[in-house]
Amino acid sequence: MPIEFNDLDVVSEVAGLSSALIVPCNMCPAVSVAIREKKSFMKFFRSFLKSIPFEQYIRTLQCRLREKGLRTKVFRSNLYHQWFLCMWPSGQRKKLQKHAKQYEAVIVLGCDSATETVRDSVKSTDCKVFEGMEVAGFMNAKLRFHLPCNISFEDCKIIPMSQQKKEEDVSV
């Protein structure tokens, strides 16, 4: 961890539906977006426990979905122990199940494990689950603190996952 992501064309996939609940994992995707945009991951004094680049990314996604006629909402996980979708407590899963009933689709921003958490949480509803991102590899980076209290990453490298590496080696 953390994981690096590519965006998927989820806006085209959900076109034709009328509503979607966006469920972001606040950890790896937020780091990935901050690194790709070359911005600080977190500025504690400006936005406590929120990653501004990831918030902007989500807002842009909401705008694009609105243009396609979808009503959207973001399912927030503000407490630190709820940031990691792969380790959500049962209370948060039940809360998602309740909220998801009001939407046709759920869009997951996270890895396959995040999607599994969401699928498991909404399995008793009619909600369709879509992935907004795909895993591109592992991130290797140097974490840096800047004054007054900012966190960013430097010297970032993408490390392929073992399976990706095997496939690349076979195709050479």
Query: Interface residues with ligand SF4 (CB under 6 A)?
Result: 1-3, 25, 27-29, 84-86, 110-111, 113-114
Q: Which is nearer to ligand SF4, 10 or 25 (CB)?
A: 25
Identity of the residue, 10 or 27, whose beta carbon is nearer to ligand SF4 in the bound complex: 27
Q: Give the nearest distance from C-beta 16 to ligand SF4 in angstroms.
A: 28
Q: How far is the CB of 105 from ligand SF4 (least distance, A)?
A: 19
Give whole-number Cα distances, 120 to 23, 128, 129, 130, 150, in Å. 13, 12, 10, 13, 35
Q: How far is the CB of 6 from ligand SF4 (least distance, A)?
A: 13
Give the shortest CB-35-to-ligand SF4 separation in angstroms. 14
Cα distance between residue 116 and residue 33, in whole Å: 21
Angle 104-110-111 (CA atoms, 0-180°, nearest 5)?
115
Cβ closest to ligand SF4, residue 3 vs residue 107: 3
Smallest distance, Å, CB 144 to ligand SF4? 20
Residue placing its CB nearer to ligand SF4 in the complex, 70 or 85: 85
Complex with ligand SF4: residue 105 or 109, whichever CB lies closer: 109
Q: How far apart are CA 140 and CA 109, in angstroms?
A: 20
Six-digit token string for 72: 């959207």
Angle between helix 52-67 and 28-36 (nearest 10):
90
Q: How far apart are CA 31 and CA 39, in angstroms?
A: 10
